[in-house]
Amino acid sequence: MTALDETELDVVAESPLARSRRTTELTLLVMAALITGAAYTITALGTNAEIPPGIVVFVGILLGLLLCAHVVVRLVARGADGTLLPLAALLHGIGFVMITRLDDELAGLQATWSLVAIVAFVATMLIVQRATDLARYSWLFFFGGAFLLLLPLAPGLGVNINGARIWVSLGPINFQPGEFAKIALAIFFASYLADRRELIAASTWKVGPLHLPEPRYIAPIVMAWGFAVVVMVFQRDLGSSLLFFTLFVVMMWVATERVSYLLIGTVLFGAAAYFSWTQFTHVQTRVDIWLDPWADPLDRGYQIIQSLYGLADGGITGTGLGRGNPDQVPEAQNDFIFSSIGEEWGLLGASAVLMAFVLLVGAGLRIALRTDRTFEKLLAVGLTTIVGIQGFIIIAGVIKVVPLTGITLPFVSYGGSSLVANYILLALLIRLSDSSARRLRELPDDPTPSERWKAWRLTRRLRREKRRAVA
């Protein structure tokens, strides 16, 4: 294809499908902003009985930020699914309102982090213009991810907070590198498995009755399992460990199409979990609290009991925004933000949050189904699994479905690292969605700006050489 013709480059062919997706996105974004603004107002009314003085400014800035993100999507990924960004914005908005309601000081910080997160989103959209570019740096992502994951264990850098060693302190900034590590490792795995899925699935290595893949092909998988164990044992972060492991196992399963990986993964994780339950008191404590929080209602069981009381107090329609007492739950703005939502927004509001996650997962997996490239499929699966499973683990924890493990609720919880990482993740999903749309010829696959720049330089060189040849 001689697409490198200058006249053809200038043609910006319009696609009705892309335009309607962007219109949908814009409409939904405005709705998300209005819902957030309304919730913010009602919460202020509920707590102080006054309409917040800066409400217009607040909604204005909110809309401005979301419009920035939207415009960038419109410019560089106009074929992408129009629901991803609004869903994230809605969750982010609900979370922000709850954080404001719980702690003014944290709300200020969270506002700053929101800005950083949108900037990170925009930057990711602009830098990663071709999803396949990511595959080229897969080993960089592997080592980067491993480095980030192990960073909190470094003496002098890592900090123990609430018993978990998942924080890194660099001067005034604390962050959780694990939030970024999971994305890096998802990229690595997508790339690694895309290249070697047939080899791994072939299982040519026989050990007794078992057919296993060649050791060198499963080595990275074993390393991943090792990571999960390290996180569980040394960082005492059960939730992240479960998340990592689920991520790897799901990606292996989808890539190889073999259920056995799912089973082996479950057995391996179960073994590791059982081992840590027998060996570590903090794991036993978590399990004991989960089994019967009322055994120690004022100390170890206090948090989960207060969470459940809050949920019960909320009932179907909730206590009303700003009218409940979610601050009874320690760490309400963090791990327990979902029970705060359940208390003040009721079963209806909490179900809306669940729906938003289900829709987000649905949109993510639809990308995986639509694209025809294995790497993109696996990456979409990986990223979606991160959001979906992380949401499940923490929500299930606060409503006593599984033992509580402290991780953040994506987009909703307070926390800079989590918010920024999740917006990067979202940008990658949108990028994948856009490229699948282009691959399906729903809109012309026009070159990216960097490709145009290269093309322009190439034509100039060609022209120069032609001129030189003529001369």
Partner 1 sequence: MNRQIRQLAVGIMACYVVLFVALNYWQVGRKPELDARFDNTRQVLREFNRPRGPIVTADGQVAAVSFPTAPGEPYDFRREYPTGDLLSDITGYYTFAFGSTQVERMYGDVLTGTTTEQQVRGLADLLGGDVGTTGTVELAIRNDAQEAAQFLLGGRTGSITVIEPATGAIRAMYSNPTYDPNTFVNADFDVAQAAITELQNADGNPLLAQAYQERFMPGSTFKVVTTGIALESGLVTPDSVFENEREWVPPQTNDPIQNYNGSLCGGDLPTVFARSCNIPFAQMSTLLGPEAMVGGVSAWGIGEELPIDLPRPAASTFGDTENLAQELPLLAIRGFGQSEVQMVPLHMAMVAATVANGGRMMEPYAVQATYDQAGRVLDRTSPEVWKTPISPATAEIERQFMIGVAERGTASCCIALEGGIPVAAKTGTAELGDPTNPDLSHAWIVAFAPADAPRYAVSVVLTDVQSTADVAATGGRLAGPLAKGMLDFLLTGPGSQPISPSTVPPSTVPGDGP
Task: Out of 90, 120, 311, 429, point to the residue binding partner 1 (CB under 8 A).
Answer: 311
- Contact between 270 and partner 1 per CB under 8 A: no
Nearer to partner 1, 121 or 392 (CB): 392
CB of 135 to partner 1, least distance (A): 16
Residues 225-254 as x/- pattern, contact with partner 1 by CB under 8 A: -------------------------x--xx
Task: Out of 308, 386, 407, 432, point to the residue binding partner 1 (CB under 8 A).
Answer: 308
CB of 361 to partner 1, least distance (A): 5
Q: Which two tokens stand for residue 151?
A: 């960073």
CA 10/CA 12 separation, integer angstroms: 6
Nearer to partner 1, 149 or 376 (CB): 376
Strand order across the 164-170 sheet: 158-161, 164-170, 173-175
Task: Out of 64, 270, 297, 330, point to the residue binding partner 1 (CB under 8 A).
Answer: 297
The residue range among 132-140, 220-228, 273-281, 313-321 that interacts with partner 1, by the rule CB under 8 A, is 313-321
Task: Out of 315, 457, 461, 463, point to the residue binding partner 1 (CB under 8 A).
Answer: 315
CB of 301 to partner 1, least distance (A): 11
Give me the phi and psi of 12, to 5 degrees please. Answer: -105, 95
CB of 412 to partner 1, least distance (A): 14
Question: By the 8 A CB rule, do 268 and 225 touch?
Answer: yes
CA neighbor of 318 nearest in space, from 277, 290, 346, 357? 346
Chain CA centroid to CA 316, Å: 29
Name which of residues 412 to 431 contact partner 1 (CB under 8 A).
none
Helix axes 238-256, 259-279, angle to 10 degrees: 160
Name which of residues 339 to 358 contact partner 1 (CB under 8 A).
342, 346-347, 350-351, 354, 357-358
3-class SS of residue 324: coil
3-class SS of residue 169: strand
Residues across the chain: 471
CA neighbor of 386 nearest in space, from 420, 349, 426, 417? 426
Kindly state the DSSP code that residue 263 receives in the 8-state scheme.
Answer: H
Nearer to partner 1, 225 or 253 (CB): 253
Q: Cα dist. 82→25, 89, 93, 364, 373 in Å?
A: 4, 12, 18, 12, 21
Kindly state the DSSP code that residue 448 receives in the 8-state scheme.
Answer: P
CB of 75 to partner 1, least distance (A): 29
Name which of residues 382 to 411 contact partner 1 (CB under 8 A).
385, 388-389, 392, 395-396, 399-401
Binding residues vs partner 1 (CB under 8 A)? 45, 49-51, 104, 250, 253-255, 257, 297, 305, 308-316, 319, 323-325, 328, 342, 346-347, 350-351, 354, 357-358, 361-362, 365, 368-369, 374, 377-378, 381, 385, 388-389, 392, 395-396, 399-401
